[in-house]
Structure 1
Amino acid sequence: MPTIGIDLGTTNSCVAAFRNGRVEIIANDRGNRVTPSYVSFTMDERLVGEAAKEDVTSNYTNTLCQIKRLIGRTYDDPSVQADTKLWGFSVIDDDNKPKIPVIHSYKSNIFCPEQISAMVLEEMKNTAEAFLGETVTDAVITVPAYFNDAQRKATRDAGEIAGLNVIGMINEPTAAAVAYGLDRQCKSERNVLIFDLGGGTFDVTIVEIKGRKFFVKATGGDTHLGGEDFDNKLVEHFISEFKQQHGENISDNKRALNRLRVVCEEAKRKLSSSTQAKVQVDALQGGYDLRSGISRAKFENLNFDYFKRTLDTVKNTLTDSGIEKENIDDVVLVGGSTRIPKIREMLEKFFDYMELKRTINPDEAVAYGAAAYAFSLVTGKDTVMEEFVLQDVIPLSIGIENKSREMGVIIPRNTTIPTKKWNNRQTLKDNQEKMILKIFEGERALTKENHFLGAFTISGIPPAPRKEGKVRVLFEINASGILHVKAIEKITGNSSEITIARDKGRLSEREIKQMVREAEKFRQKDEELKQRSKAMNALEDFAYSVKDKMSQKYLTTRQKESLMSKVTEILHWLDINKKEPVEMSHLEAKKKELEQLWND
C-alpha cells in the first residue's frame, strides 16, 4: 500500500507520493498541483478546493478558509479575535474552543477546526487514490516548525478524522530541506537555510546536509505571519480609503469585506511582477464603487514591519544555531509569499547579495519532502533513499513549573529529537505524599506566559521531611514531536505518566470517534451526489443522442412526435431538478422510459 506526503497549508494544500524511484506531485481533478484549502457548504452539497474558493463571494458565510489559523488555538487567543473580524464566516466560543457555524442542507451545523481541516486532508487523500489507483491510508502530514504541541496534536486528530493513519509528522521547512537535498544530492557538507514564508505561517530552519543525511541545527518562526497578513493590510488600507472617499464604513459588512479581500489578494499577486495594480469593486457598499489602485512601493510600506519580522527571525535562528551567516552555503526560498520582490531584496542584502536558491518549486517542495520522508518510514528500499537520515529539533523549550511558578526548562529548544531527559524532583513540605507536575512549553521565565501542556499527579510518596522525598521524571519526545512524561518515586517505585495529548481545549477520544462517523456520513453523501450527477449526465447525454439519431433513422411522423415529446419532457425535467435531490430510482425510470420508446 502506498504512503503519501501532505502539505496542509493555510491557503493551499499539496499531496505527493514516492514511486518508481522518484517523488511525484499529484494533480487534482482540475489538473492543478496545488488545491485551495477551502471548504464551502451549499444547500445540497459540500465543496472542497477550487470549487469552494469560487463560491467565496456568493456564499461567504458558509465558505471556510484559513482554518489552519484556528487549529489548536483557544477562542480567546488575540490572533483568533483579530482574524475573525476580517473573515466572511463566523467563529463562536464553545468552552473557549473556536467553532464555526454553517448552514448546510437547510440545517445549522457547527464544526471544529479539526473537522474542516480533515475535509481538506480527505480531498488530498482522494486525489492521491485517483492518481495511484489504490487505497491510501498511511500519510505524513507537515506542520509549521513553530507549531506548539496543541497545534500538532490537533493536526494529527484532523488526519484521523479524515481516515488517515498518520505515520509521522514533519516540520515544513525540514521537508523543504529534504526536497532540496534530494534534488541536488550534495556530496559535500552544506549549511542550508530554509526561508519558508507561506500563506499563514513563517519558518526559518538551518539544516546541515550531506548526501542524503539531514541534521537540523536550529529552527525559528511565527505561526501567524504570512501572505494572508499582507492581504489584511491591503484590506485595512482600502477600508480607510473607501471611508474617506464615500463616508461609508464597511468594517462590519462581511459581504463587502469578502469581496474586497478577493481583489486585494489578486493585487498582491500582481505586484510581484508589476509595479502597479488596480483595485476595483462595483457597488461595494451604499451603491458606491471602489475605484483605486496600489503601487508596489505602497504595498511594501504597508507591510514593512511584517517583512522586518522575517529578517529578525533569520538573525535569531542563526544565533541559536551557532553558525555565522558567512558560513551559510545556500538560502532556499519556500512558500508562495517568497515571490514578493521586497522580501527577496532584503534577504539578498542581508546575506551579502548571495544568490537565493529557487531551484525547487516553492508551492510543492514541502509536499515533496513529506512524501520522501513517508517512504523512508515505511520501506525506504530504493537507491534514491539509501542512507537516508533525518534528525529534527523541537521548536520550543519544555519544562516543569517550579514552586515560584517559574519555568524549569528540562529540554531546551532546538534539542535534536527523538530525545530523552531525566530530571530529579524533591518534596517541598514535610510528610508530602503526592506531587503535582505541571508541564509547559515556551521561552518565557514565568509559566503563566508560556503554553500549558498538561498536568499529572504521582501519589504514594513515603512520609519524610521536606526535600527527602525523591521523584525522578523522564521527558521523552518521539520523532513526530509528541511528548510523553513519566514520574517514578525512588523508594516505592510508584509511577505515574502522561502523554501530552488531550489537555483542555483538545478533542477527546469520544469526540474524535463522533467526528469520524460524521465524516463517513459526508463521504457517503458525497458519493451519492457523485452517482446522482453521473446518472443525470448519462440521462441527458442519452436524450440528446436520441434527438440527434432521429434524423438518421426511418421513423413515422407519429414515432418522431412521440420521441421528441419524451426527449423534451426529460430535458425540461432535468433542467428544473439539477439542483434538487432527485432519487436515483427516478433517474433510472426516466431513462428506461426513453430507452423503451427508442427500442420500440
Structure 2
Amino acid sequence: MSVVGVDFGSLNTVVAVARNRGVDVITNEVSNRATPSLVGFGPKSRYLGEAAKTQEISNLKNTVGSLKRLAGRKLSDPDVQIEQQYISAPLVDCDGIVGAEVNYLGKKERFNSTELIAMYLSKIKQITANEIKLPVSDLVMSVPAWFTDVQRRALIDAAEVAGLKLLRLMNDTTAAAIGWGITKLDLPGPEEKPRRVVFIDCGHSNFTCSVVEFKKGELSVKSTACDRHLGGRDFDKALLDHFAKEFLGKYKIDIRTNPKAMTRVLAAAEKLKKILSANQQAPLNIESLMNDVDVRAMVTRQEFEALVEPVLNRVTAPLEQALAEAKLSPEDIDVIEVVGGGSRVPAIKERIHAFFGKTLSFTLNQDEAIARGCAFSCAILSPVFKVRDFAVQDVVSYPIEFAWEKDADIPDEDTSLVVFNKGNVLPSTKILTFYRKQPFTLEARYASGAELPGAIPPFIGQFSVKGVKASGAPEDFMICKLKARVNIHGVLNVESGYYVEDQEVEEEIKEEEGEKKEGDAMETDDKPKTRKVKKQVRKGELPIVAATSSLDSNAKAAAAEKEAAMVMEDKLVADTEEKKNELETYIYDLRNKIDDQYSEFASEEEKEKIKAKLETAEEWLYDEGEDASKGVYIAKIDELRALAGPIRQRYLDKVEAERQAVQARVDAERAAKKAAEEEAKKAAGGAETSGGKDEEMTDADAPKPETEEMD
C-alpha cells in the first residue's frame, strides 16, 4: 500500500511519499520535483503535466491551467472570469459546471472542471506509481482553506474518477503545520502553555495565514484567514501590464492582440521576478516577440515594488483577521513560519516582518512543505506505517445552518439553526432532535453567503428523512435524532437518523465515599439502591435520502469509464510513438553495422539488398509512414530483422565460437594449474616420509631467516 501526499497547486503540483523511514519528494518523467498543473489536448492524444507545458505556446487554445480554481464553479461566477485571464482555452458552460471547449482527436469537445481535474490526477497517479513501483490508491491532498463544500466535493469526485481514494482533504497551512510539528520533540506538555505558531502560505494565487497551537502529540488550528487573489501570479501580471505598455510606446507593438506574445512575456516576467528576489535589477530579452521585433527591457527592484504596491498593501489584512479570530496579538506568537514560492519576494517578507515585529522562520522547504505534511498525514491514517501519534484539529471555515419547514403541530417552532459555527473544531459531529409525525426535509446551507468566494451559492445539500410516523395517541410525536457531521474533508453530511422513545428504566444510585455510614467497617452484600428514571432508548433507524453537489454513482462510473478509455488511448499513442522511434533507430543502427560489424559476414549482394530495403523503409517512414499504426511499425521492424537475420546469426556464431575458444583455453590453463598443484603436493608428501619414520623438527633444526646488510 502506498502512502502519498499531494500538494495540488494552481501552477505546479508536488508529490511526496513515505518510504525509507522518512518522507521523500518524488520526481516526474523529466526529473523535476514539481509537475505543471496543466492539461492539453491534441489531434492524437492528451498532453498532461510536463507534456502540456512543452506544447503550451504552440497549442494555447487547447491547454487548460488553474484547474484547482475551477473546481465546483459555474461559468457565471465572477471568480471564473478572473481565471479566464490566466487560461488560454475558452471556458464554457457544461451542464451548469464550468468547463473548457477544446479540439481533441480532430473534433470539438467539452470537458467540465471535474473531468479536467480527474485527467490531471490520473497523470499524478501514473508518475507516482512509476517512481515507487507500487500501485497508487490512497492519498491525502491539500486544498485552500477557503474552499466550500461544493468545491471539496468536486475534488473528491475527480479523485474517484481517476481511481484514487482521498483519505483526507487537508487545508494547505494545516498540512504545513503537521510537517513542522510532528518532528519536534520539545513541544510543551498537556498542562503547559501551548506553543503558538503562525503559518503563512503565499503561493501562486492564494495568501493564507493560520494561527496554530502545538502541544505534545497534537496541533489545534485556532483560526485561518485568506486572500483568494493574492499570490505570485499577481506580481507576474503587474509586470506583464508594465511591459505591454512599454513595448507599445517603445516598439509600437501591442502584445495584447497576440496570445502567444502575451504568454511568452508572462513566462519572461515570472523569471525576471525570481531574479529580482536576489538581485537589485534584472533584464528582459525576448527575440522575435511579435512582427519579428526583438524586445529588451530593464527593471530594478524598486521599480518592481512600486508596480506591485497595491498587491503588497493587501498582505496585512489576512494577518490581522487571523489574529483577531484567534483573540491573540502579535506579542502572543512564538514563531512565524513562512512557506510558498511567492514568499521569496523580499517585499512580502518585509511586510510580514513589520507586522509581527519578529524574525521570520524559514525552516520548512517553501515549495515542498505542504506535500510533505500531506504525506505525514497519509502515513498517520495508513495502517502500513507506524508514525508518532499526532492529533490534528482544524476549524470550520464558514458557519453552517440547517433550515426546515415549520410543523403545523408546533406553531412556535424555529425554522433554522446554526449548527456549526465558524471556528468550530473539524471534524465535528452534532445530534439534531426533531419532534415529527410525518417525513420531513432539512436543507443545509452556509449562514453567511457574503463570506463565500465568488458567487458560489450557500446551498450545501438537502436531506429527506423517511419512515417518520406517529405511534400511539394522535397527539404523540416521534422523537427523531439526526447525526450531522463535518468530516475530515470539511464536507457536511447527515450521516444517519434514528428515532427514540421515552422509557422508565431502573438506574443504580451510586453512593459517594463520604456518604458511607460510620459503622460500616466493611462492604456488605446488600442489594444496591436503585431509582426509576426516564431515558430515551433508541428504537429504530430512519432512512435519509441526500441530495448534494456530489456526482451520483452512475455519473461517477460513466466518467471513470470515459477517463479509463482516454488513458488507454494515450497509452496506445505513446506505444505507437515508441515503436516508430524504435523503427527509426533500427534503420540507422543496421545501416552502420552492415558496413562495420557485419561487413565480413555478408556478401556484396546481401549488403546491397539490405541497404536498398533500409532506404525504402526510411523514405516510407518520413512520408506516408509518418502517421501509421503501432502494428504497421512492428511489421516493418520484423521485416527488416528477418532480412538481416542470417547475417546477424553468422556474426553471433563467430562471437560464440570465439567465446568458446577463450573458455576452452581458460579451462585448459585451470586444469594444468590444478594438475601441477597436485604433483607438488605428492612430491612434498614423499619427501616427508623418505626417512622411514616421522622426525620432529626442533627450533634448532628450523631454517633461520637470512639477513642482508645494506649499504
TM-score by length of 1: 0.88
Partner of 2:134: 134
Which SS does the other structure have where 2:170 is aligned?
Answer: strand
2:140 pairs with 1:94? no
Equivalent residue of 1:362, what SS? coil
Pairing partner for 1:371 from 375, 378, 396: 375
Does residue 606 of structure 2 align to residue 597 of structure 1? Answer: no
| Letter paired with 1:549 | K
Among 569, 579, 590, the residue aligned to 1:525: 569
Partners of 1:578 and 1:376 lie apart in 2 by 53
Deviation at 1:220, TM superposition (A): 1.7
User: Match of 1:387, SS?
Assistant: coil
| Corresponding residue number in structure 2 for 1:392 | 394
**Contact 2:94/2:112, CA 8 A, preserved across alignment:** no
Corresponding residue of 2:266: 261
Matching residue of 2:686: none
CA distance in 2, matches of 1:7, 1:358: 19
Quote the Cα distance in structure 1 between the aligned partners of 2:435 and 2:282.
Answer: 65
- 8 Å Cα contact 2:281-2:299 kept in structure 1: yes
Q: Displacement of 1:592 after TM fit?
A: 1.6
The reply to whether residue 359 of structure 1 matches residue 406 of structure 2 is no
- 1:167-566 mapped onto 2 (5 Å cutoff): 167-188=167-188, 189-245=194-250, 250-251=255-256, 253-282=258-287, 284=289, 290-354=295-359, 356-379=360-383, 381-382=385-386, 385-400=387-402, 408-422=417-431, 437-441=442-446, 443=448, 451-457=458-464, 474-485=483-494, 497=544, 502-503=548-549, 507-550=551-594, 551-552=596-597, 553-554=599-600, 555-566=602-613
TM-score (norm 2): 0.75
Counterpart of 2:84? 84
**1:46 match:** 46
When structure 1 is superposed on structure 2, of 17-26 and 236-245 the one drifting more is 236-245
The reply on whether 1:155 has 2:135 as its aligned counterpart is no
Q: How does 1:23-42 map to 2 (within 5 A)?
A: 23-42=23-42
2:620 corresponds in structure 1 to 573
Residues 598 and 207 of structure 1, relative CA distance in 2, 3 Å threshold: same
Displacement of 1:408:
4.8
Question: Within 2, Cα distance between the matches of 1:110 and 1:133?
Answer: 34
Q: Which moved more, 1:234-243 or 1:3-12?
A: 234-243
Moved more, 71-80 or 295-304: 295-304
Is 1:407–1:440's contact at 8 Å kept on the other side of the alignment? no
1: CA distance, partners of 2:118 / 2:457:
28
Contact map agreement 1:456 1:496 (CA 8 A) in 2? no
The one-character-per-residue Cα deviations of 1:77-129 (angstroms, maximum 9, x if unpaired) are 11111221453210012344211011122121111112222222122211211
1:169-200 residue CA offsets vs partner (Å, 9 max, x unmatched): 21111111111223444433522211111112
CA contact (8 A) 1:461 1:489 kept: no
Q: Which residue of 2 aligns with 1:62?
A: 62
Alpha-carbon distance in structure 1 between the residues aligned to 2:400 and 2:626 = 53
Shift of 1:264: 2.3
- In 1: Cα distance, 2:356 partner to 2:257 partner: 44
CA deviation after TM superposition for structure 1 residue 241, in Å: 3.7
Secondary structure of the corresponding residue to residue 622 of structure 2? helix
- Superposed CA deviations along residues 455-506 of structure 1, whole A, max 9, x for unmatched, are 34558687x9xxx999766531112212113677889999574657x33xx5
CA distance in 2, matches of 1:343, 1:16: 27
Are 2:465 and 2:545, in contact at CA under 8 Å, matched by a contact in 1? no
User: In 2 relative to 1, CA 436–243 (structure 1 residues): closer, same or farther, beyond 3 Å?
Assistant: farther
Q: Distance in 1 between matches of 2:273 and 2:469?
A: 62
Counterpart-to-counterpart distance in 2, 1:440 and 1:212: 34
Q: Answer with 250-259 or 344-353: which moved more.
A: 250-259
Cα distance in structure 1, aligned partners of 2:625 and 2:343: 43
Following the alignment from structure 1 to structure 2, what is the Cα–Cα distance between the partners of residues 446 and 219? 13
Between the aligned residues of both structures, percent identity stands at 29
Give the distance between the partners of 1:579 and 1:357, measured in 2 at CA. 56
Q: Secondary structure at the match of 2:244?
A: helix
The verdict on how the C-alpha distance between 1:78 and 1:280 changes in structure 2, with shifts beyond 3 A counting, is: farther
Match of 2:5 in 1: 5
Q: Quote how far apart the aligned CAs of 1:70 are.
A: 1.0
Cα gap change, 1:279 to 1:88, in 2 (>3 Å)? farther
Aligned-pair CA distance for 1:544: 2.4
Q: Distance in 2 between matches of 1:538 and 1:244?
A: 52
Deviation of residue 50 (structure 1)? Answer: 2.0
Shift of 1:202: 2.5
Separation in 2 of the partners of 1:244 and 1:96? 43
Q: Note the C-alpha offset of 1:377.
A: 0.8
Three-state SS of the structure 2 residue aligned to 1:268 is helix
Partner residue, 2:700: none
Q: Judge conservation of contact 1:397–1:412 (CA < 8 Å) in 2.
A: yes
**Preserved contact between residue 146 and residue 203 of structure 1 (Cα < 8 Å):** no
Deviates more, 1:453-462 or 1:170-179: 453-462
Q: Is the alpha carbon distance of 1:240 and 1:597 closer, same or farther for their aligned partners in structure 2, counting shifts above 3 Å?
A: same
Where relative contact order (Cα < 8 A, 6+ residues apart) is larger, the structure is 1
Unaligned segments of structure 1, at least 5 residues: none
Q: Secondary structure at the match of 1:59?
A: helix
Q: How many residues align?
A: 588
Distance of 1:576 and 1:186 partners within structure 2: 69
Q: Measured at CA, do residues 243 and 542 of structure 1 come closer, stay the same or move farther in structure 2, by a change above 3 Å?
A: closer
CA shift digits 1:361-394 (9 cap, x unpaired): 1111111111111111121642xx2222222222
Structure 2 Cα separation of the partners of residues 494 and 371 of structure 1: 38
Q: Is the 8 A contact 1:141 1:166 kept in 2?
A: yes
What is the match of residue 656 of structure 2? none
Looking at structure 2, the residues matched to 449 and 590 of structure 1 have their Cα atoms a distance apart, in angstroms, of 57
Distance (whole Å) between structure 1 residues aligned to residue 582 and residue 282 of structure 2? 45
Structure 1 residues 580-591: aligned runs within 5 Å:
580=627, 582-591=628-637
Instruction: Give yes or no for contact 1:407–1:444 (8 Å, CA) kept in 2.
Output: no
> Quick check: which has more Rg, 1 or 2?
2
Offset of 1:11 from its aligned partner? 0.4
Does the 8 A contact of 2:200 with 2:337 survive in 1?
yes
| Distance of aligned partners of 1:69 and 1:578 in 2 relative to their CA distance in 1, 3 Å threshold | farther
| 2:315 counterpart SS class | helix
